[in-house]
Amino acid sequence: MQQPGGRGEVIGAGFADLDQGRSNLDCRAGMGRFADPQDPLFRALNSSIAFDYRLAPYDIEQSLAHARMLARSEIIDADDLEQIERGLAAVRAEIDADSFVVEAGDEDIHMAIERRLTEIAGPVGGKLHTARSRNDQVATDVAMVVRAHSLEARSLLLGLMATLVDRAEGHLDWPLPGYTHLQRAQPVYLSHHLLAWFWKFRRDLQRFNFCMTATDDLPLGAGALAGVNFDTGRMYVAQELGFNGIAENSLDAVSNRDFVLDYMSAAATCAGHLSQLGAEIVLWSTAEFGFCDVDDSFASGSSLMPQKKNPDAAELLRAKAPRIVGRLAGVHGVLHALPLTYNKDLQEDKEPLFDTVDTLELCLRVAREMVSGLRFNRERMAAAASDEFTAATDVADLLVREGVPFREAHGMVGGLVRAAVERHKTLSELTDDELGELAPSLAPEAFRALLDQSSWLESKVSEGGTSLARIGEQLAQARHVLEEATVN
């Protein structure tokens, strides 16, 4: 699908002077009802073609399926269908070539296409709208957009997830601190940390899978709200357009925008995950952490300070998330308390949806490439992970194995940590006498053996833990998820 861009002059020409003339089709559907032309201010407020132009490929695909259904149902004849198909092909060629001209009377892309079709094919173009309203037409176009971009989000997520698995496999046994409250908590392997992002994005993948289900029912055929006066073949159109069924209630069909909310909600959660990933990259790339370095291609400098290398791409991943959340909130506001069925308010779903689509897809592409190019500093991470205080839980568990209740063991080890801090020592620098005084149940030899760093990591043998054996299982499962998702 062509994205907006390169059409500013064409669209601008169409709206350069709203007071001049009117096209062959008045910008109102059903112009015969009105004696006076629309006020230019209302036309400016009412027009949506500046942003719904990007529905054009979907609208043409839908119109072709609708015309073929009309012919199959003997509502139009074969010659009509042939002329409509040729005309729509010509319109599509103009749109693809960026030469389609929007005229001042074109209220939206749907009327613009019908107007141009009629210019090319003659009066037969007016037959295309038989048994169809813009209400069910627009709902169908938007559902098709959501389906297409849910598939695109899935593809981009799978690419990012595959990159995370590759990076995890390449840094399998690199230790670093794990954090809670941004304080060093327990050491983990970098592979384990990277895979945590994999599973977050896997849940995003599942949310976009649901968006495909949410758009399974074809709205087209519901008419304005009550159905149409022809026995149309809705299931034929559904199959032609890739829908699995039809909307069962015409009122619901034209008013439903749940699938827009579903997509934007999935996008907001996904953008939130990307913002967290970006925040971590920003933090890790500081001189204070020094855990990673962002590739130059995703960094920028300072206009004043020559030494600066700013992780701007990661920072923008943080900032784009609230933008998408705000768009979602806006559409919730549009839909709030709307009575059945179609209301012009629904026109306001498109700009937020399109902006969400563009923002999310760009962020997913950036995230994959940036993660792929990250350079990690093994020595810096290992030094931070060697902080013996992060072994405190392991020491408490050692006491538990000796029969000490965990809460009592927790208190003993807390006393050890406090004493070491006050005496400016590491845990391993505490003497046997000090250990006997503070934790008499703790065997000094076992205590010192435990403080070997690898034992802190390899002791996490529970399913989903950070020991290498469990990470190996997790990587195998991650590869399986990728394979299954690619096949399906």
Catalytic residues: 181, 302
> How is residue 113 written in tokens?
């296409």
| d(C-alpha 455, C-alpha 175), whole Å | 12
Instruction: Give the Å distances, CA to CA, from 65 to 86, 126, 211, 233.
Output: 13, 16, 23, 10
User: Whats the size of the chain, residue-wise?
Assistant: 488
Looking at residue 357, its amino acid is V
Would you call 442 helix, strand, or coil by DSSP? coil
Relative orientation angle of helices 312-335 and 258-284, to the nearest 10 degrees: 160
| Distance in angstroms (rounded) separating the CA atoms of residues 456 and 450 | 7
- At a CB cut-off of 8 Å and minimum separation 6, what does 32 contact? none
Neighbours of 400 (CB within 10 A): 14
Calculate ∠ Cα 262-263-269, nearest 5°. Answer: 90
Six token digits for residue 421:
């801090």
CA 414 to chain centre: 44
DSSP category for residue 297: G
DSSP conformation class of 74: T
* Listed residue (135, 187, 107) closest to 388, CA to CA: 187
Q: What are phi and psi of 180, to 5 degrees?
A: -130, 140
Q: Which of 329, 208, 310, 320 is nearest to 275 (CA)?
A: 320
